[in-house]
Chain A
Amino acid sequence: MADIPAAIEPTRLLPEGHYGAPGDGVAARLRAGCSAATLAARRGALPALAARFAEAGLLLPDGPKAATAGGLTLIGTGPGRWLAFAEGARVLPGRLLPLAEGLAAVTDQSDASLLLEIAGPKVRAALAKGVMVDLDPSVFQAGDAATTTVAHVNLTFWRAGDRTGDRADGTPSYVFAVPRSFAPAFLRWLASSAAEFGFTMSGTGRG
């Protein structure tokens, strides 16, 4: 850790670039062009909702898991509650509405969070500096998700549900959904935590 972001305004997203020690220990990329929504089952409607999703070829995970099918990623955030992401602006909440009709509440959250892909050979060691969840691969596996607090920021993160969750070199990759207004603070923490391993930020603009 080091005082890397000292010159960077705490209100802005960490600009693209390399931070800290030489090397590529950790890399973060801001993923743009997604839409998002929360899905919450009506009282007693969970079985019917799950059946309707299954019929549509979609996976509604049970518990703190992330599942991707049909271009839709659903992450369990609580009993009968999910956070949904889809590639493409304005895909959600529209795609969920017919599925949820009468069985669940859908709320547009496309602008609520920023999605950050965080990966690299040292990603676990860096994340351990704030993530109070056991990330050991034997414990937190591909498809596992957690809704937790990291450096005072309430967020949801997961390892993607299929093999693409890990990089080609076998190092793990995580996706963090960070509340928009907290994203600058989160990235300051991440850059500080990953600095000793070499940290690269992309997707946030040159600043």
Chain B
Amino acid sequence: MSRLLHGGLVDRSLTLSFAFDGATYRGHPGDTLASALLANGVRLVGRSFKYHRPRGIVTAGSEEPSALVELRMGARREPNTRATTVELYGGLVAASQNRWPSLSFDLMSANQWLAPILGAGFYYKTFMWPSALWEKLYEPVIRRAAGLGRAADRPDPDPYEKANAFCDLLVIGSGAAGLSAALAAGRAGARVILAEEDFRLGGRLLSEFAAIGDGPARDFAAAAEAELTSLPNVRLMARTTVFGAYDGGTYGAVERVGDHLPVPAPFAPRQRLWRIVAQRCVLAAGAFDRPIVFPGNDRPGVMSALALSTYATRYGVSAGKTAAFFVNNDFAFAAALDAAEAGVKVEAIVDVRPDPALASRAQALGVRVIQGEVVGATGKQLSAVTVRTPKGSETLKVEALGVSGGATPNLNLATHMGGRPTYDETLCAFVPGALPPGMAVAGAAAGAFPLQDCLAGGAQAGATAATDLGFAVPPVSVPRAEGAPSGICAFWHVAAPGGFAFVDLQNDVTAKDVKLAHAEGYRAVELLKRYTTLGMATDQGKTSNMAGLAIMAHLTGRSIAETGVTVFRPPYTPVAIGALAGHHRGRDFKPTRPTPTHLWAKEQGAVFVEAGFWLRAQYFPKPGETDWLTTVNREVTAVRERVGVVDASTFGKIDLQGPDAGRFLDRVYINTFSTLAVGKARYGVMLREDGIVMDDGTSARLADDHYVMTTTTANAAKVYQHLEFCLQVLWRDLDVQLASITEQYAQIALSGPRARDVLAKLVDRADVSNAALPFMGVLETSVAGGIPARIFRLSFSGELGYEIAVPSGQGEKLVRAIMAAGAEFGITPYGTETLGVLRIEKGHVSGNELNGQTSARDLGLGKMASTKKDYIGRVMAARPAFLEEDRPIFVGFRPVDRAERLRAGAHFLPVGAEPTLANDEGYMSSVAFSPTLGHSIGLGFLKNGLARIGETVRAYDPVRGGDIAVEVCHPAFVDPEGEKQRG
């Protein structure tokens, strides 16, 4: 056991049992998985990404590059979870990853002997050819060898959710600076959110034996937390990581609501994704302790100096029986002394500086100080380090080595909107440059490292934010703090012979790889990153970037400032996809919109199909019908011979009123509507600005200044938006008022030779004879005992047809009345499949033809276009390519051998021509089996199609092995003269 006899913020009165790689261990509440593993003497926790080298715990926070484990089991298994951030709970199960057959003996560690060929850029060099082997051999092999944990192979059983929060000030981080900022703004009455990724507030204050005011730093943190809790305008959010800064003062955050529990509490999510909108933000995220690169610096037991100290001071754990430190700065020196004070057996502090400021304190504590450099580390788990001093070489037998190359301000969020950090030579660190609007940075994140500066800077930032927002801020009193001095000597890399000297532990990038990148010309930091993978993956190089670019700076002879630094993008730490989805998964992935007749259709045994958000009846199978085609053939025949009913409520419906409504329609449709008589409807086509058809539908005139428009189901929202754009931006002079009435009306279509007979029974009083309600006529009346209705005599099927619009709450009543009235005529409900067959038989275009590539001329609708007015798309539709004789034009097709089946997507070739792109003459857009004709029929686009009716071409479909002769014909297979719909 490595638990120290006393100290730390763990609750030693309670014991929690947990398992790692099948063995059972014990820890305490307040432990992380990492601290509990170290307390149990477990130092080897994983294998590295590329070389499968044994790895241990390196940090005590979310910047951890190395100690990644699989947490939980089965459907709850989470790969690549940082042991340093996992809050220990009773029954926790974790496993090491990326090893086989076991963590201790990993056969893939043979990879390290292949290091000469696995260095930077090995993908690009080694697997050049034969390129055919990429998919079959190289990629699978590489993917198996490299990589991290395994994702769960079953759906996550736990819920996730999203939430929105708003505040005057968002404070990110709860160390000295964050607490001070929150207190200053909170006391002034501002709405403050304080987000802390740890489960305990306090940041570094929890790990340092510094004094604030008259007491320990920890007491200050506790008192600040108590005061903030008492303020109703302050919200404390522990276990919450702010992962991204976005436009408009918006921040993304993940709250780990139930991650510290075996399963989330009842009705509570595992995680909650927050969208926080803040007027101001204070980034007080602290700093990272960065490594020094030296041979063997990845041995389990080599870790960050501040982490080694934190394990001792906060968790009461010694990371090894004996320890040493290797530092270049006073913070880490002070942390080493804290560790010694906490009870860690510190053999020596190796400092590259000749005269560290705290040397006398070390002497008082009996800790030896050596001026020198660690040049080697040995042991599969660290057992000794070699120190080079001005006097010679010395070996220290230690199980833990705390290394610190200085503090790297945690400014990641400050760069999310593109701000470039700037290099401060005195601090040996990049500090924030241009900040996202509304953000200030305080404390160590700003490079203000001394504790007193953190307290003062935080308070100042909080007060400034509150003052800016108009709050009266009481005078801020900053307590006096005694922290470590902030001396540092730039030192990045120990030049010494020996094995691997790692720059980036997560990606197995070594100092040699950086040299290789330099030698091969990848010297800019962005190229260095991409060529070597330095700074990529889940840790974004939080600890490794600095040493990597310092080595590159050294190699190029430039300063670090000249070398520059890469910036970060969200998320700051990995975010589960489940959290991003929230409520919207499974059946709630998107809203399901039932049609007004849904319940009735379900009673009829309908099979449903998703159409956007809508759920529509696809077909209505009857008992004994074993396949959908049988059903659809019956439905089509019923419509052609008798009468059918279909719910068309999903069409977009738009109410247009105002004196200029007619003029407006003239400008958005290619044809004219201002001359349409009241009580009449007309089919219209509208173009995009580029001349391509956007949508089609009918518009009816109810009064001089009142029209109703229908759009296709798919384009309902798009057309409404387009019309709003036209009125609000293009033609503000037009007096037209729009209202979407898609939800207000159910619209039921009756089709077939007996449609009028059914309608006559349905209307309360109106005359629906051919004379009173002719084709394209409109009638406002009441049906089925007083339901107000608009009846449009329209036909999509080519049969005598009516569409009846009633308030949507009456839709179900209407369809039941229609079925009752139509029973004696053999009325048949039909769905979207039959709707499709009917329109293909009639040669009407639909979504397959209005596909964003076709002009009105292509669709055979060119003659509708008015030449007497301007309209959207007119100029661009006259571009030469649109008018070429050879352009594919809408026509019909039937198989020469009527028994053959047509396939949509087939391309047309001249008979006997080679199937090459040069010979391509167009494509089939829609096909159906026509029960009316007894064979397969198709619609499509063929070069100069209208002039080629009667010709035979080849329908070539290599994807599905189709290659048949088809005859070009008129697209209207049924009733081309339109007599049925007018009768």
Nearest Cβ distance between residue B400 and chain A, in whole angstroms?
A: 43
Per the 8 Å Cβ criterion, residues 39-79 of A in contact with B are: 40-44
Decide yes or no whether B594 CB sits under 8 A from chain A.
Answer: yes
Enumerate chain B residues within 8 angstroms of A107, measured Cβ to Cβ. Answer: 655, 657, 739, 741, 744
Say if the beta carbon of B489 comes within 8 Å of chain A: no
| Across-interface contacts of A111 in B (CB, < 8 A) | 743-745, 807-810
In this complex, what residue of B is CB-closest to A196?
A: B267
B584 touches A42 (CB 8 A): no
Contacting residues, chain B, for A1 (C-beta < 8 A) = 159-161, 267-269, 582-583
B598 an interface residue at 8 Å Cβ cutoff?
yes
Q: Hey, what's the 0/1 contact readout for B778-808 against A, CB within 8 Å counting as 1?
A: 0000000000000000000000000000011
Cβ of B530 under 8 Å from chain A? no
Q: Which residue of chain B has the shortest Cβ distance to A13 in the bound complex? A: B594
Min CB gap B237→A, angstroms? 13
Is residue B556 within 8 Å, beta carbon to beta carbon, of the partner chain?
A: no
CB-contact partner of B735 in A6, A42, A128, under 8 A? A42
Partner of B739, one of A40, A129, A139, A189: A40
Evaluate contact between B164 and A139: CB separation under 8 angstroms: no
Which of B584, B592, B595, B808 neighbours the largest number of chain A CB atoms within 10 Å of its CB? B592
Are A195 and B164 touching (Cβ within 8 A)? Answer: no
CA distance A110 to B806 in the complex (A): 11
Bound state CA distance, A33 and B738, in angstroms? 26
For residue B823, CB closer than 8 A to chain A, the reply is: no
A43, B705: Cα distance in complex, Å = 14
Q: Is the CB of A152 within 8 A of B591?
A: yes
A151 lies within 8 A of B737 (CB): no
Distance of A130 Cα from B591 Cα, bound (Å)? 14
Residue of A nearest to B727 (CB): A43
Contact of A112 among B268, B582, B599, B741 (CB under 8 A): B741
Task: Determine whether the beta carbon of B614 is less than 8 Å from that of A181.
Answer: yes
B160 pairs with A181, CB closer than 8 A:
no
Verify A10–B267 contact, CB threshold 8 A: no
Looking at the assembled complex, report how far the CB atom of B130 sits from the nearest CB atom of chain A, in whole angstroms.
48
Asked if residues B161 and A104 are in contact (CB atoms below 8 Å), the reply is no
Q: How far is B614's CA from A128's CA once the two chains are assembled, in angstroms?
A: 26
Q: Which residues of A contact B160 (CB under 8 A)?
A: 1
Answer yes or no: B765 CB below 8 A from chain A CBs: no
On whether the beta carbons of A134 and B267 are closer than 8 Å, the reply is no
Q: Does B143 have its Cβ within 8 Å of any Cβ on chain A?
A: no
Which residues of chain A have C-beta atoms less than 8 A from B388's C-beta?
Answer: none
**Interchain CB contact under 8 A, A20 and B598:** no
Bin the interface of chain B by size: 35 or more
Rounded to whole angstroms, the CA-CA distance of A195 and B588 in the bound complex is 16
What 0/1 pattern do residues 181 to 209 of B give for CB contact below 8 A with A? 00000000001000000000000000000
A38 within 8 A of B: yes
Within the complex, which residue of A21, A109, A139, A185 is in contact with B267, where a contact is CB–CB below 8 Å?
A: A21
- Please, which residue of chain A has its CB at the minimum distance from the CB of B659? A42
> In the bound complex, how far is the Cα of B739 from the Cα of A136, in angstroms?
31
Are A108 and B744 within 8 A (Cβ)? yes
Chain B residues with CB under 8 A of A104: 737
Residues of B within 8 A of A186 (CB): 591
Contact partner, B743, options A2, A151, A180, Cβ 8 Å = A180
CB-CB nearest in chain A for B733: A43
Q: Is B623 an interface residue (CB 8 A)?
A: no
Most buried by B among A6, A128, A131: A128
Q: Is A169 an interface residue (CB 8 A)?
A: no
Q: Which residues of A6-56 are within 8 A (CB) of B?
A: 6, 10-12, 20-21, 38, 40-44
B743-A185 in contact (CB<8A): no
Residues of A near B582 (CB, < 8 A) are 1, 129
Given known pairs A40-B738, A42-B735, A152-B584, the reply for A130 and B162 (CB within 8 Å) is: yes
Binding site for A on B (CB under 8 A): 159-166, 191, 266-269, 275, 277, 582-584, 587-588, 590-596, 598-599, 613-615, 655, 657-659, 733-735, 737-739, 741, 743-745, 807-810
List residues of A whose CB falls within 8 A of some B CB.
1-3, 5-6, 10-12, 20-21, 38, 40-44, 104-105, 107-113, 128-134, 136, 139, 151-153, 179-182, 184-186, 188-189, 192-193, 195-196
